[in-house]
Chain A
């Protein structure tokens, strides 16, 4: 046995005061309070919606909400969702099936091209169409550009799921006498339900939240109406009430998706690794039709923006490259992006840690607070922050802090999802090990878990960074005077109908977004085990 005197500082370690007899949570209480803090912050927009409604009073709410203008917006928004969603679903499934399950020539290239439109910000799509066909406007235009801009959100999960499905189930269905079409309808499609629901929700939330796309083609939705209202009457009750209705709309969509998802088990039952997927041979005519579909989609979703951008860049020549304006915009975008990404990732750490190390009801509630807020449109978050900062935190009104807060609220789940996967890869036993080797709980967390989760955290931060790069609505509303990011710079140019000068901004945004698109594509391959 070692003499005690040979153990400096340890043998005489003073036992700490034991709080309330339960000290399992001693390290945890800090983490828990931090996550509660972040989640309370996330509840701000919802509190704003409720608070505003309370303050305005029922009589005035009725006057503000039950009027023809709101009805018109409601009809527009509902029609937009009703037309766009089925088209996106159909297109996404068709393309995914062709690239994953058929012998279509050049499948790999087509699958990459089906994801690529994500690199083009939605309002750049709109800009491309408006400058190509200046007369384009209204609902048909809204549906067309929305489908083109957002169908990859369905393509990605559906393709990933198709790749992962157990082919044996389809074999069995066929052996039970089902024709190929019946196999698809009764066996494959039901298994795609989760992917379709998830993708459709994402598209739906984008439809509700997007401002730039619809403003450019003069199609009025709730979001564009709120924005106009805000511009004309600033922080008036009319804009706030419209925001409340929009928030309700979003919550309804979340509920609808949750109930459509169902409770069935979709994971593969049974052991062993699944075999290769069966590839369906297309007849020559079907091949031609399929190639036609791929080519048309690609031409509309990539060809139009690239053609228009090219046209403007050539027409504008060297003059449009106003580096004295472009470089500061790039710099501000990168600064805001980096600061926002770091802030968001740090804020996600406590919740992510809690969800892996101490999952429970509290943690699930905290997490869902963040998810709900991030699904609210940027304009609602922005209005909430405007109202709150004006009334309670005047010093940070119209400062970078408020902008970063908005990013935090909107993009936290992106960091959270990555971080959680990363922390899950660092077993708690390693942290315990480090503690038994003399490291304090905080040091152990930093040296072991955070170090192991670093790659995942970086991936999450990158996702947040790129989301911030293309963010327009909240930045327009909240940024301090004189702020010009790539997105707002682009917006200012197009507002002056100077399409040529806007082109370089769009090009830089697309180039910045390419890595994100690559990352998404790579991740969907990896989850499919390739």
Chain B
């Protein structure tokens, strides 16, 4: 069952189209990540779900209840949707405990116990309750913001780039903690980010947005392996994109004969491989031959530029290959490239790209 359903949402700010016909279904209890470059409309979408913005047209349904349609709208304070913004947005004039308790009934007897329980659940020390927001570190502020949003037992949790202000190590630890906490509570979650690695690791459902449009959605693995177009492919990670001629499930390209994932395609097109699908060897004679022209040492991996051997009048193409940092061949060495798995046939882009 889907918890949240967005249908044909449109929104324009002045002449700028922020959302163009966005439809998306978020399954119950899932962790949906909406990823896209800045200005892609993802934050507008999130704020619309929270009730801070309203669409020009389209509808929004949560657990079967219409939140927005052509004639009605439930205001933000009646939606019971949790929201954690980028900077936490803690109320500066309230202590940690008062911030967390903001969404709880004021005179409830169990209020105190509930605040302690929430603080414990986000791994905040109990003696922090009397602290003020400005006395907390970035990570602690985010935990308070999360606890505050959890307090009202939200029907849906919205996270707007909640980890981007944290430093790298803390970020992944927070991400894991938040993911576990929300899964255990069974709360459907939507996270918005521009960071593709964060998106891939947090999501069990992924949606890619670009220029106000929803480009593709599905399982993260599927989107990574079978992106809908080249731009999406490159957005979700490094990719080797090659022109190819397809015949009966095989692509003929600069890397030689590579199996492809689609039987339907025929003729000239472009295929995509992820760098980890390319294996490099200095001894094995099989596969495609090339020469290392550049070598960029990066610690655990080393990125090599390999100029492929010119073949059948086609000039040799330079492609990026990853190699273990310690065993990377030197510049000038002759290497052989083999592929693993199938290449993905990219949808034919707009006519412009072919020329």
Contact = CB atoms under 8 A, between A and B. Distances in A.
A452 B92 contact: yes
Given A432-B76, A452-B92, A452-B93, A15 B66 contact: yes
A430 interface: yes
Given A432-B52, A432-B83, A18 B152 contact: no
Contacts of A433: 83, 85, 89, 91
A2 B149 CA distance: 15
Nearest to A425: B92
B77 A435 contact: yes
B72 A437 contact: no
A430 B89 contact: yes
Interface stretch (A58-66, A87-95, A439-447): A439-447
B77 A440 contact: yes
A436 B74 contact: no
B29 interface: yes
Nearest to A9: B78
Contacts of A444: 77
A7 B3 CA distance: 15
A375 to B, nearest CB: 34
Contacts of B74: 13, 15-16
Nearest to B66: A15
A434 B50 CA distance: 12
A448 B93 CA distance: 8
A2 B51 contact: no
Contact of A435 (B51, B70, B82): B51
B274 interface: no
A146 to B, nearest CB: 45
Nearest to A6: B153
A429 B93 contact: no
Nearest to A454: B93
A26 B56 CA distance: 15
Contact of B65 (A11, A437, A443): A11
Interface in A329-356: none
B75 A438 contact: no
Nearest to A10: B80
Please tell me the size bucket of the interface on A: 35 or more
Contacts of A1: 3, 28-29, 63, 155, 186-188
A14 to B, nearest CB: 8
A17 B75 CA distance: 11
B50 A436 contact: yes
A23 B153 CA distance: 27
A437 B63 CA distance: 19
A437 B148 contact: yes
Interface in A16-50: 16-18, 21-24, 26
Interface string B50-81: 11111010000001011110111111111111
Contacts of B71: 17-18
Contacts of B50: 432, 436
B38 to A, nearest CB: 17
B235 interface: no
B94 to A, nearest CB: 9
Given A1-B187, A432-B50, A15 B73 contact: yes
A180 B152 CA distance: 66
A436 B76 contact: yes
Chain A CB within 10 Å, residue with most, of B78, B81, B93: B78
Interface string B79-111: 111110101010111000000001100000000
Contact of B73 (A6, A16, A432, A448): A16
A4 interface: yes
Contacts of B51: 435-436
A483 B10 CA distance: 62
A435 B76 contact: yes
Interface string A451-465: 110000000000000
Contacts of A435: 51-52, 75-77
A15 B72 contact: yes
A427 interface: yes
Contact of B54 (A23, A438, A443): A23
Given A6-B153, A436-B76, A429 B63 contact: no
Interface string A360-374: 000000000000000
A7 B73 contact: no
A4 B62 CA distance: 11
Given A7-B153, A24-B53, A436-B51, A16 B92 contact: no
A8 to B, nearest CB: 10
A432 B160 CA distance: 13
Nearest to A22: B54
A436 B54 contact: no
Nearest to A443: B77
Given A432-B50, A432-B52, A7 B92 contact: no
Nearest to B55: A21
Contacts of A438: 77-78, 80, 103, 152
A436 B77 contact: yes
A427 B152 contact: no
Contacts of B47: 432
Given A7-B155, A23-B54, A432-B50, A18 B73 contact: yes
A7 to B, nearest CB: 6
A155 B73 CA distance: 55
B74 to A, nearest CB: 5
Given A2-B186, A435-B52, A23 B76 contact: no
Contacts of B93: 451-452
Contact of A11 (B56, B63, B73): B63
A386 to B, nearest CB: 44
B189 to A, nearest CB: 11
B187 A15 contact: no
B90 to A, nearest CB: 8
A10 B103 CA distance: 13
B76 to A, nearest CB: 4
B215 to A, nearest CB: 27
Chain B CB within 10 Å, residue with most, of A11, A13, A430, A438: A438
A436 B153 contact: no
Nearest to B188: A1
A16 B152 contact: no
A347 B148 CA distance: 34
B212 to A, nearest CB: 18
Given A15-B66, A441-B77, A448 B91 contact: yes
A444 B186 CA distance: 29
Contacts of B81: 436
Contacts of B52: 432, 435-436
Nearest to A12: B65
A1 B30 CA distance: 10
21 contacts: A1-B187, A4-B63, A10-B155, A11-B63, A21-B70, A22-B54, A24-B53, A429-B87, A430-B91, A430-B92, A432-B47, A432-B85, A432-B89, A434-B91, A435-B52, A435-B75, A435-B77, A438-B103, A441-B77, A443-B77, A448-B91
Given A1-B29, A427-B89, A436-B79, 11 more contacts: A11-B65, A15-B67, A16-B73, A17-B71, A22-B54, A429-B87, A432-B89, A436-B149, A439-B77, A443-B77, A444-B77
Interface of A: 1-2, 4, 6-7, 10-11, 13, 15-18, 21-24, 26, 427, 429-430, 432-441, 443-444, 448, 451-452
Nearest 3 interchain pairs by C-beta? A15-B72, A437-B103, A13-B78
